[in-house]
């Protein structure tokens, strides 16, 4: 039975195969999650920094209280000026006290706001640090199937752009949201204290506010997730063009690449314009509503002052100071709503980004059913048996069917066949990068699904067709095969794989820093480094998937003896198009249509004059098939 089990922990792998491009494009399109669920989950990440969160809340509480008391003191100061018998009278002592108190409030407010900014920045950065770690941990253990079926640039965009949007929003918006709620409650209390009637007048615009925000929110929820998805697609296209630039240039496809880029960019531009317009119009609409509320309060307040009307007020009679303070509270009451409206675009972008981040985190984990914890890698003999295997990367497009293969311990077995016949798929199934749909695969008579994946892959050393070179020194790239290897072991492996032929000629020798992807080495040199990794790993089972495909004939001959020494005493599985590399294999199997159609050694298969003979003669004798 096939299992849906998760991500291969990278073994000693230098590259990999996978489903062909048309099958990758057939994978289902990602869908956004529920926004409420995303917000709740995002808040759970913020809540992991409890001390910072509590500190920020306390500071915001004091900042909000100071902001609330400032208009109250201003109103008191204004009411120290009175008109009696047509004469202006000023309570100078009382006014000075109010002004000093107001100055203290402003100074304390400024200091606390400064610390609030620092705490908010720390909260945002520690939050996204935890999120980045969780996301990277998830990416590190994603199934090969996932990375084969998703654009790498899009995955990178989620790690960078989306997480950065979350960081900015947490830093800028969290404080505004919390303080906004406190401000709304505080302002409402002071407004009711001054004048319940004016409060009722002020709140009449709330209905208009709800109508505007509800309709604009529906539009924004449509375009902001679309904007982030298109941004990921654009990054994916750029990543493909940059990594495959030589191929693009070689086929003169620069114009096509630019057209594709412009096509995606135009879609992103249109979606972004609609998103930013729908988000940007929120602020002005809130300002208009706020000004309407301000106008209503000023008009009714002046009228109530003239007619001396202020029922149910705890403060008492309506005064000029009362109206001034009430207007300030009206502004402060609408300010949080306006701020949230102005930041709503950024908040929606962050939510859309968080949805995309959580999509990766929620990818079903690969289950490892390996229960044999006593499995000893050192005791592996390397007897491998594929029995009645059926497998398809995409349902309905079978790659292997009724596939049987027995690789004896210590045997040097080669697999050949036309492109797409399933050669690399055999490697993917043996290492459990993908799981079979039907049949069994055994190692030394034990089902590989009973063996923990980590131990299974520690038994296997792989050099694949696509070499991976890290941005590090030559020595460290080789040491990737065995991280605790000594310098002497690294150099010995390098000499076995003939890396010393070019490495010792470089100025810094094995300490030469390689560029990303090994751009400062030839393809053949990069492949030699990959072979040296396998030599250093000293695996029980060795897999060479087109391991010498990029090495010139002279270099190939030069390393044949070293490769033969490497394969002695261990099970070796060789996949090759270049048949000259497998003449001395103990057994050669020919794949066609996902089945083994021929098997035998080089001489036997040539004598049979079948599929292998046709492949061989095509390469060396020029005979048409």
Q: Specify the pLDDT at position 549.
A: 61
403 within 8 A of 439, measured Cβ to Cβ: yes
Q: Specify the pLDDT at position 103.
A: 94
Higher pLDDT, 84 or 102: 102
Per-residue buried b or exposed e for 581-607, using 16+ beta carbons within 10 Å of the residue's own CB: bbeebebbbbbeebbbebbbbbeebee
**Mean of the per-residue pLDDT values for the chain?**
81
Q: Specify the pLDDT at position 8.
A: 34
3-state secondary structure of 624: coil
Band (327; pLDDT cuts 50, 70, 90): confident
Enumerate the domain spans of the chain.
36-361
pTM for this predicted structure: 0.67
Q: Any idea which of 80-84, 91-95, 317-321 has the lowest mean pLDDT?
A: 80-84
What are the strands, taking DSSP E only, across 78-169? Answer: 81-84, 87-90
Residues 477-521 pLDDT 10s: 999 888 888 999 999 988 888 888 888 888 889 999 988 777 778
Band (23; pLDDT cuts 50, 70, 90): very low
Band (106; pLDDT cuts 50, 70, 90): very high
Mean pLDDT of 20-44: 58
Q: Specify the pLDDT at position 112.
A: 93
Q: Specify the pLDDT at position 15.
A: 36
Pairing of strands 571-575, 541-545: parallel
507 within 8 A of 476, measured Cβ to Cβ: no
Q: What is the DSSP string of 359-415?
A: HHHTSPPPP-----TT--GGG----EEEEEEEEEEETTEEEEEEEEEEE-TT-EEEE
Q: Specify the pLDDT at position 623.
A: 44
Q: Specify the pLDDT at position 383.
A: 92
Mean pLDDT of 311-333: 83
Q: Specify the pLDDT at position 548.
A: 64
156 within 8 A of 235, measured Cβ to Cβ: yes
Strand partners, 446: 443
- CATH number given to 36-361: 1.20.1560.10
């Amino acid at each position: 039975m096939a299992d849906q089990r998760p991500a291969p922990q990278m073994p000693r792998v230098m590259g990999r195969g996978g489903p062909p491009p048309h099958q990758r494009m057939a994978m289902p399109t990602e869908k956004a999650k529920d926004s409420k669920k995303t917000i709740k989950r995002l808040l759970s990440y913020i809540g992991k920094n409890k001390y910072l969160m509590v500190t920020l809340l306390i500071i915001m509480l004091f900042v909000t209280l100071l902001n609330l008391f400032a208009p109250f003191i201003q109103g008191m100061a204004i009411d120290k000026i009175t008109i009696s018998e047509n004469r202006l009278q000023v309570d100078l002592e009382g006014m000075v006290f109010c002004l000093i108190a107001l100055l203290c409030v402003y100074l304390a407010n400024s200091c606390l706001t400064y610390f609030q900014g620092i705490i908010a920045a720390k909260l945002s950065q520690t939050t996204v640090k935890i999120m980045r770690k969780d996301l990277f941990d998830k990416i590190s253990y994603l199934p090969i199937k996932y990375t084969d079926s998703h654009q790498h640039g899009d995955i990178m965009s989620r790690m960078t752009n989306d997480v950065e949007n979350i960081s900015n929003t947490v830093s800028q918006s969290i404080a505004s949201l919390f303080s906004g709620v406190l401000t709304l409650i505080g302002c409402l209390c002071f407004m009711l204290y001054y004048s319940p009637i004016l409060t009722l007048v002020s709140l009449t615009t709330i209905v208009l506010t709800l109508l505007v925000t509800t309709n604009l929110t529906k539009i924004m929820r449509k375009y902001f997730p679309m904007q982030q998805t298109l941004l990921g697609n654009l990054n994916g296209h750029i990543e493909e063009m940059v990594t495959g630039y030589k191929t693009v240039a070689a086929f003169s496809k620069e114009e096509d690449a630019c057209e594709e880029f412009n096509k995606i960019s135009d879609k992103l531009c249109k979606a972004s314009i609609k998103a930013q317009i729908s988000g940007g119009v929120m602020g002005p609409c809130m300002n208009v509503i706020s000004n309407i509320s301000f106008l209503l309060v000023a008009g009714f307040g002046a009228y109530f002052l003239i007619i001396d009307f202020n029922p149910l007020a705890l403060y008492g009679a309506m005064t000029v100071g009362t109206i001034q303070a009430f207007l300030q509270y009206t502004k402060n009451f609408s300010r949080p709503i306006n701020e949230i409206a102005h930041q709503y675009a950024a908040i929606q972008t962050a939510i859309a980004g968080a949805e995309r981040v959580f999509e990766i985190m929620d990818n079903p984990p690969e289950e490892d059913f390996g229960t044999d914890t006593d499995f000893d890698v050192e005791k592996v003999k390397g007897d491998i048996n594929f029995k009645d295997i059926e497998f398809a990367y995409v349902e309905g497009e079978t790659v292997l069917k009724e596939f049987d293969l027995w690789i004896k311990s210590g045997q040097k077995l080669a697999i050949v066949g036309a492109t797409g016949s399933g050669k690399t798929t055999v490697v993917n199934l043996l290492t459990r990068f993908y799981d079979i749909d039907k049949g069994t695969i055994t190692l030394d008579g034990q089902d590989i699904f009973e063996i923990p994946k980590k131990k299974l892959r520690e038994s296997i050393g792989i050099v694949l067709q696509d070499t991976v070179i890290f941005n590090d020194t030559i020595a460290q790239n080789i040491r990737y095969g065995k991280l605790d290897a000594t310098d002497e072991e690294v150099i010995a492996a390098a000499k076995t794989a003939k890396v010393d032929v070019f490495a010792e000629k470089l100025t810094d020798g094995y300490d030469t820093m390689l560029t990303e992807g090994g751009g400062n080495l030839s393809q053949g040199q990069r492949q030699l480094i990959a072979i040296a990794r396998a030599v250093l790993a000293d695996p029980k089972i060795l897999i060479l998937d087109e391991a010498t495909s990029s090495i010139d004939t002279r270099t190939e001959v030069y390393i044949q003896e070293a490769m033969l020494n490497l394969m002695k005493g261990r099970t070796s599985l060789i996949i090759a198009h270049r048949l000259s590399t497998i003449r001395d294999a103990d057994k050669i199997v020919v794949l066609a249509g996902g089945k083994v159609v021929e098997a035998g050694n080089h001489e036997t298969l040539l004598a049979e004059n079948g599929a292998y003979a046709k492949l061989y003669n095509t390469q060396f004798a020029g005979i048409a098939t």
